Amino acid sequence: MYEFNILEGENRPLFFFTTDNGYTYNVSFNPHVYKIEGITDISQVDVICLDNENPKKDIKVGKTICAIIEHFLSQNKERIVGYICDTQDKREESRNRKFYNWYRIHNNGGYTLKNYEIRPNQTNEVYYTAVIYHPEAYLDQFIDDTYGREMKELEDK
Amino acid sequence: MKNTVVIKAPKEAAKFFNRLLKDKAERKEEIKRKFNKGELKTTS
Q: Span A34-46, mean pLDDT? A: 87
Mutate to test the interface with B, among A44, A52, A122, A127 (most CBs of B within 10 A): A127
Using a CB-CB cut-off of 8 Å, the residues of chain B touching A34 are: none
Instruction: Provide the pLDDT for residue A81.
Output: 95
Nearest CA to CA, how far is A148 from chain B (Å)?
7
Long-range CB contacts (< 8 A, 24+ apart) of A69-73? A69/A27, A69/A45, A69/A132, A70/A107, A70/A108, A70/A110, A70/A111, A71/A15, A72/A13, A72/A15, A72/A29, A72/A43, A72/A45, A73/A111, A73/A132, A73/A133, A73/A134
Which residues make Cβ contacts (< 8 Å) with residue B31, sequence separation at least 6? A14, A26, A28, A46, A48, A50, B40
Considering only CB atoms, A46 lies closest to which of B9, B27, B43, namely: B27
B7 touches chain A (CB under 8 A): yes
Instruction: Provide the pLDDT for residue A21.
Output: 92
Residue A8 pLDDT exceeds 90: no
- Across chain B, mean pLDDT equals 87
Instruction: Provide the pLDDT for residue A37.
Output: 82
Alpha carbons A35 and B33: distance in angstroms, whole number: 29
Closest to A20 in 3D by CA, of A44, A54, A52, A56: A56
Instruction: Provide the pLDDT for residue B29.
Output: 92
Q: What is the interface pTM, i.e. ipTM, of the complex?
A: 0.88
Closest to A149 in 3D by CA, of B9, B43, B33, B24: B9
Instruction: Provide the pLDDT for residue B39.
Output: 81
CB within 8 Å of chain A, chain B residues 13-32: 13-14, 16-17, 19-21, 23-25, 27-28, 31-32
Q: Average the pLDDT over each of A32-46, A77-91, A114-128 and give the range with the smallest value.
A: A32-46
Check A152 against B25: CB less than 8 A apart.
no
Check A48 against B20: CB less than 8 A apart.
no
- For A49-75, write each residue's pLDDT tens digit: 998 888 888 999 999 999 999 999 999
Instruction: Provide the pLDDT for residue A40.
Output: 86
